[in-house]
Homo-oligomer: A and B are copies of this chain.
Amino acid sequence: MYTIEQLRDIVKSEMAKQEYVEEPYSLFEPIKYILEDGGKRLRPILTLMAYNLYREDIERVLKSAIGIEIFHNYTLLHDDVMDDAELRRGRLTVHKKWNSNVAILSGDAAAVTAYKYIEHVEDEYLRRAIDGFNQVAMDVCKGQQYDMEFETRQNVTEDEYIHMIYLKTSVLIAGSLRHGALIAGAPEHEYNALYDFGGYLGLAFQLQDDYLDVYGDVKVFGKNIGGDIVSNKKTYMLIKALELASPEQREELWNWILKKDFNHEEKIKAVTRIYNELKIDEVAEAAIDKYLKKSREILDTIDVPTERKRFLYEVIEGLGGRKK
């Protein structure tokens, strides 16, 4: 049985071995660039963990797991163009380093590469693997569409937000786990249960990200605090604050949101003060704990020795504890 750290090393060294670049180099260099930037590799690790619940020979699913990481990076590539993002994990985004056309086309090529890798499964599992992956890929598109639409809407509800992040973030995490269990030969109700487990885990994961933007420790979080506040991102924190605010607090929030010219620190401080007054930290913590509880309940039902589920439980506990 492999620890999370062992699996991360295995994924990283396998990814380092791959040859992503062929002619025309201009098409493939950006794919190499985004794949070598050292993300957490969460999704392929989850695929391997789900597989490892049932089987030890993880090399059997390794290439296909890497396909999921490539797919994830393809969505980041296109999302960054659509959001006109400057930086990704501390480096220039592809469309800033090159240009939008490069990012669009290299993204398309990365998507095909992802499909090629994901199909490294035995014939017996091929159709279900691809069907599952198509469903995930389509849901991710839908999530990104909702996310873009929310930017210009002033009345996004909590339910709409949860639905959006479920599609945009959770579904791929869910699909990564399902894929691993499927290829391990798990029974259908179990690989589907692991999908549901991942769905809740993904929600907790995204809400945690929203939470840490306000209450995180910059050294642990790895991003600047308050970035979402400065950019008026409709996070769980802001949506709940607008919902729970008194008329005066709501007016103050909207004043900050609509202000074109402001001092970043001042805005972060003022909005955080309102969040504190409304105890949005506790509201978010409760929501995170709710989704972690649901994921734990599903994991409990997976019929393998508890010892084999240890590291998946650790993922849940790690998320629950990553409050600062």
Contact = CB atoms under 8 A, between A and B. Distances in A.
Interface stretch (A6-14, A33-41, A52-60, A141-149): A141-149
Contacts of A23: 142
A138 interface: yes
A138 B112 contact: yes
Contacts of A81: 101, 104
A190 interface: no
A130 B141 contact: no
A109 interface: yes
A137 interface: yes
A70 to B, nearest CB: 13
Nearest to A146: B24
Contact of A115 (B100, B108, B126, B130): B130
Contacts of A146: 24
Interface string A109-139: 1011101100100010011001100100110
A112 B134 contact: yes
A7 B146 CA distance: 38
A119 B138 CA distance: 15
Contacts of A82: 101, 104-105
A57 B148 CA distance: 44
A306 interface: no
A114 to B, nearest CB: 10
A109 B146 CA distance: 13
30 contacts: A23-B142, A24-B145, A24-B146, A27-B141, A27-B142, A27-B145, A78-B105, A78-B108, A81-B101, A82-B101, A82-B104, A100-B100, A105-B141, A105-B144, A105-B145, A108-B137, A109-B138, A109-B141, A111-B111, A112-B134, A112-B137, A115-B115, A115-B130, A115-B134, A116-B134, A123-B123, A123-B127, A126-B127, A126-B130, A130-B130
Interface of A: 23-24, 26-27, 78, 81-82, 100-101, 104-105, 108-109, 111-113, 115-116, 119, 123, 126-127, 130-131, 134, 137-138, 141-142, 144-146, 148-149
